[in-house]
Amino acid sequence: MTNNVQTPQEDLMVETKGKLELFFDKNGNKLLWTLIIVGLALSAFFIFKNVRDNRNLAKEQAASVAVAAELNGANSVEGFDKIQAEYKGTEAANSAAFLAAAAALQAGDIEKAEAELAAYAPAEGAAGEMLNAKVLGLKGDIAVEKNDLQTAAERFAEAAAASNDEHTFVTYTKKLALVYEAMGDEAKAQECYKSIVAKYPAQEMQMAKFIR
């Protein structure tokens, strides 16, 4: 004879199951619609994010094309200013701030160059480090034009240290050496030239004419 007596645990499971079934009977439609609404909301979010990202990518690409065209064309302050206004928020527009400053300095407009650099935000990544170094170097060039050699030395030293790129380090360390020479500090200038060879031995022949 089979024993049909349920244990307390089985009684609890049956009771719980009954309560769940009753709950779903009463609220099934509400839960279903809630799940549908949540699903649609999530789908809408991801669709929006994807569209937004695609738009941002398209905007960034368009800005990059515009920068390249300006570099190969007029290479003017006005052209780079237009790119900054039209593609505000993109990395390319940020680069355009530096390029506008460089163009302004080349034209002899120091105040405009400084104003353009004020709109530049430090970039990220390896390429960003190189651009940040160029910005610091340009600030050094501006300081030289203003005959502020102490500030120029500080900016060139910062530029040389801002990136692990060989060309960047060599370029701004040489500029730093030239500033020290202009300041009459030959010892520090020699330290700069020797530091280039110490870090990049392949530069020895290039630096030989400077090292005494």
Question: 108 in the Ramachandran plot: left (φ > 0), alpha (ψ -120 to 50) or beta?
Answer: left
pTM of the model: 0.73
Q: Confidence class of residue 58 from pLDDT cuts 50, 70 and 90?
A: confident
Helix (H, G, I), strand (E, B) or coil at 21: helix
User: What CA–CA distances, in Å, run from 114 to 103, 139, 145, 177?
Assistant: 11, 8, 12, 24
Domains of the chain (ranges; CATH) run 12-121 (no CATH), 125-212 (1.25.40.10)
Structure tokens at 85: 């206004």
pLDDT tens-place string over residues 97-141: 999 999 999 999 999 999 999 999 998 888 889 999 999 999 999
Q: Phi, psi at residue 102, to the nearest 5°?
A: -65, -40
User: What is the DSSP annotation of 118-160?
Assistant: TT-----HHHHHHHHHHHHHHHHHHHHHTT-HHHHHHHHHHHH
User: Which residue type, as a one-letter code, is found at position 66?
Assistant: A
Give the pair of three-digit tokens for residue 94. 């940020």
What is the pLDDT, as a whole number, of residue 38? 52
Model confidence band, residue 191 (pLDDT cutoffs 50, 70, 90): very high
pLDDT at 164: 86
Cβ neighbors of 31 (< 8 A, separation 6 or more) are: 24
Cα(first)–Cα(last) distance of the chain, in Å?
Answer: 111
